[in-house]
């Protein structure tokens, strides 16, 4: 039973490493059983820079999650992010033997798997291949070609690549923590599972996940992922700006940002100040809340400009009826929603990861800070659900095979629509 299965999401972020244990209840909602988190000292801008420190943080977060959930964790769904992430669109096609036979799920998988053979930049590898639209014998804009007749099957694919060394370092850290990786998933795609509705993805929406080291972007339209990008700026650079601009220590700058920070200087009082303790018998320092807001607003405007640039690059700037959804730890800045709306001219909302959550003993997980980790758990359940249908496909032990299947499963409705077809027609057959 699905509700008997436990799935663990491991979010290896720049500021925190977080592990969440969850299960599906009888109503199909996610019930969070355990939460563990630790300060991340070995990760910078979304990539692992210190193996030892990262392993220590993973072990600490896993231990806490095991204690709160009262379970033993061995298998995790891991997120991947960083400025090394690249996305592009490629066209693929296959020619079938007969026009009389219907296009099957096996044909679709063969076309998808062919895309893993395309040449990528040296030192990079493909982590996700996601179909956009299919073409059958030059009939375009087909969402699901299974069951149609045709000889030539084509599709445009959204392909996401990551640096091979970054992938290896994440795997090495997880393995040193005595864990196995079930799926490795791009973090903005995981976040989209926890904060976006199917209606928003259909209408057109841009997800902006503001983390500590990076800001991740994912654009959806017509129910399909259209563009992904990673901006190498996040909440930490705002903290650094405050540290330099206000001449305070790093931890003081972070507290100023979290407790008194605002993304709109116009909405702060003119004469409001906060007192910071001085160093070694020195007098306390007074910081103007207005000046603090000016520092934050300047950097956030830069990040928003880069988000707008990515929206323009995607070609979907006039199709985002759903506007922008802001999530991640950085989304908690006061007045950030208003600044996004003012700068972009689009509707905006803060994305809370409660779209698919049931009753939770740990209310803390409803914070946007945990959007990615919740999404990784949901992604794991989708993989579990579809693998049971897909057992005909042959040996599932390969990690690369697991990654290939998960990318198609998470963002394509083919398997769900053809569940009966798969069971009836492809038992004991291999795709390869």
d(CA 419, CA 389): 7
pLDDT tens digits, the chain, 432 residues: what are they? 444 789 999 999 999 999 999 998 888 889 999 999 999 989 988 889 999 999 999 999 999 999 999 999 999 999 998 888 888 899 999 998 877 788 988 899 899 999 998 888 889 999 999 998 899 998 988 988 988 988 999 999 999 999 999 999 999 999 999 999 999 999 999 999 999 999 999 999 999 999 998 999 999 999 889 999 999 899 999 999 999 999 899 999 999 999 999 999 999 988 899 998 877 778 888 999 999 999 999 999 999 999 999 999 999 999 999 999 999 999 999 999 999 999 999 999 999 998 888 887 788 899 999 999 999 999 988 865 454 333 323 332 333 443 444 444 444 433 343 334 334 444 444 433
Report DSSP state, residue 100.
S
What pLDDT, in 10s, does the model give residues 328-347?
Answer: 999 999 999 999 999 999 99
Q: How far is CA 370 from CA 138, 209, 330, 354, 364, in A?
A: 44, 11, 11, 10, 9
> pLDDT tens for residues 215-233?
999 999 998 899 999 998 9
Exposed e or buried b per residue across 241-256, where buried means at least 16 C-beta atoms within 10 angstroms of its C-beta: bbbebbebeeebbbbb
Q: Return the closest-CA partner of residue 41 out of 23, 21, 18, 57.
A: 57
Please return the burial class of 132, using the count of CB atoms within 10 Å of its CB with bins 0-12, 13-18 and 19+.
middle
* Residues near 341 by beta carbon (within 8 Å), at least 6 away in sequence: 347, 348
Angle, vertex CA 356, rays to CA 351 and CA 359, nearest 5: 110
Going along the chain from its start, the domains and CATH numbers come out as 1-84+163-195+355-432 (3.30.420.40), 197-352 (3.30.420.40)
- Residue 58 neighbours by CB under 8 Å, 6+ apart: 10, 12, 17, 19, 38, 173, 174, 177, 179
From CA 381, how far away is CA 404, in angstroms rounded? Answer: 16
What pLDDT score was predicted for residue 423?
A: 41
- Calpha distance 9→291 (Å, rounded): 39
For residue 359, what pLDDT is reported? 80
Q: Which pLDDT value is given to residue 194?
A: 93
Write down the pLDDT at residue 82: 85
Is residue 346 within 8 A of residue 1, CB to CB? The reply is no
Which pLDDT does position 83 carry in this prediction? Answer: 85
């Amino acid at each position: 039973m699905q509700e008997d299965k436990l799935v663990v999401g491991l979010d290896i972020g720049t500021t925190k490493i977080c592990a969440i244990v969850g299960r599906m209840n009888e109503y199909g909602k996610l019930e969070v059983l355990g939460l563990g988190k630790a300060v991340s000292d070995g990760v910078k801008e979304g990539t692992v820079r210190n193996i030892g420190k990262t392993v220590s943080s993973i072990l600490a977060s896993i231990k806490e999650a095991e204690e709160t959930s009262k379970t033993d964790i061995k298998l995790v769904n891991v997120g991947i992010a960083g400025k090394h992430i690249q996305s592009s669109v490629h066209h693929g096609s296959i020619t079938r033997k007969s026009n009389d036979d219907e296009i099957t799920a096996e044909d679709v998988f063969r076309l998808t798997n062919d895309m893993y053979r395309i040449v990528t930049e040296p030192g990079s590898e493909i982590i996700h291949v996601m179909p956009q639209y299919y073409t059958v014998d030059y009939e375009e804009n087909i969402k699901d070609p299974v069951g149609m007749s045709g000889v030539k099957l084509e599709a445009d694919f959204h392909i996401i690549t990551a640096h091979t060394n970054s992938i290896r370092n994440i795997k090495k850290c997880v393995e040193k923590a005595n864990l196995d990786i079930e799926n490795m998933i791009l973090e903005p795609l995981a976040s989209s599972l926890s904060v976006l509705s199917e209606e928003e993805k259909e209408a057109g929406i841009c997800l902006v996940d503001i983390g500590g080291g990076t800001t991740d972007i994912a654009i959806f339209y017509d129910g399909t992922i259209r563009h992904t990008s990673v901006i190498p700026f996040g909440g930490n650079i705002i903290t650094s700006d405050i540290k330099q601009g206000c001449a305070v220590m790093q931890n003081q700058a972070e507290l100023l940002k979290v407790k008194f920070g605002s993304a709109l200087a116009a909405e702060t009082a003119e004469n409001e100040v906060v007192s910071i303790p001085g160093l070694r018998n020195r007098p306390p320092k007074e910081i103007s809340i207005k000046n603090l807001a000016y520092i934050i607003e300047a950097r956030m405007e830069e990040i928003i400009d880069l988000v707008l640039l990515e929206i323009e690059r995607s070609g979907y700037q006039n199709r985002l009826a759903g506007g922008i959804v802001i999530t991640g730890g950085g989304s908690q800045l006061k007045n950030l929603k208003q600044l996004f709306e003012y700068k972009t001219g689009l509707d905006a909302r803060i994305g809370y990861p409660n779209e698919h959550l049931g009753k939770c003993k740990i209310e803390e997980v409803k914070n946007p800070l945990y959007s990615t980790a919740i999404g990784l758990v949901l992604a794991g359940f989708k993989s579990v659900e579809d693998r049971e249908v897909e057992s005909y496909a042959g040996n599932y032990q390969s990690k690369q095979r697991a990654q290939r299947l998960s990318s198609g499963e998470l963002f394509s409705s083919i398997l769900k629509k053809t569940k009966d077809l798969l069971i009836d027609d492809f038992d004991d057959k291999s795709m390869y």
